[in-house]
Each structure stands twice: as C-alpha cells, then as structure tokens.
Amino acid sequence: MADGFQDFQRQMPSVDRKVSEIKQDDVRVAIIGTVLDAQGNRLAIDDGTGNVNVSFEEDVSTEPGKMVRVLGRVMPMEGGVEIQGDALQDMSGLDMELKKKVDELAGTGKQ
C-alpha cells in the first residue's frame, strides 16, 4: 500500500448474459434468474432460457423461488459451464417485464 491507496486486484467487468447465451470463452458474466435450489455455497439458477449451477467460496443466504443476480467467473465444464460466484444480489423488487422493455429500447434485448 503506497500513499494511502489500497492495492486492489483489477477484474474484468461482468457482461450481462442470459443462461442460454453464456459462451465457454466468456470470462465474467452477470445473470438474473430465479433460485431453483440453494444448499450451502451452491445455487441452481433459472432465467427462463436455461439453468446454471453457481458455487461460492462461502455459504450464501438465499432460498428457492427468490429472484437474484449473480456476478461471477465462467468455468467451462464438460457439457456446459458453471459459474464461480463473486457476488449475489437480491432482485426480489425487480419488475422483469419493465426490464425487458428497457432492454429492448436500449437495443440489448433479444427477441
């Protein structure tokens, strides 16, 4: 630490993705979906286009049926991908229909 500044490890930004759009060469992604299963440090998330398993270094506090956003690193696996989660955000108050409309207007929504 020099001059009062903390030395942070720089990370690649997370790219918003639908589960079905995650590529094995993606580095970091952000996914919004519903928790299907939550046990200890592992989650299964479904966003309507598919589901993906997410693991965290520590146990997470969430429950099935909750809408969440996961930010994490894509880990290529045989037959697909898994996410090594860095952050979990409660998105219970998110209006998904409104988000879809905003994404479409911004040109980021896929139809």
What are the beta bridge partners of residue 83?
Answer: 54, 74
Residue 70: per-residue pLDDT: 95
pLDDT tens, position by position, 2-21: 555 555 556 778 899 999 99
Q: In 3D, which of 101, 110, 107, 100 has the Cα closest to residue 32?
A: 100
φ, ψ of residue 28 in degrees (nearest 5): -130, 140
What kind of architecture, by CATH, is found in domain 15-106? Beta Barrel (2.40)
**Total-model pTM:** 0.78
Higher pLDDT among residues 75 and 111, named by residue: 75
Residues ≥6 apart with Cβ < 8 Å to 17: 26, 29, 30, 31
Per the CB < 8 A criterion, the answer to whether 69 and 45 are in contact is no
What value does the mean pLDDT take over residues 43-56? 95
Residue 28 pLDDT more than 90? yes
Residue 65 pLDDT more than 70? yes
pLDDT tens, position by position, 67-76: 999 999 999 8
Q: Above pLDDT 90, what percent of the chain?
A: 59
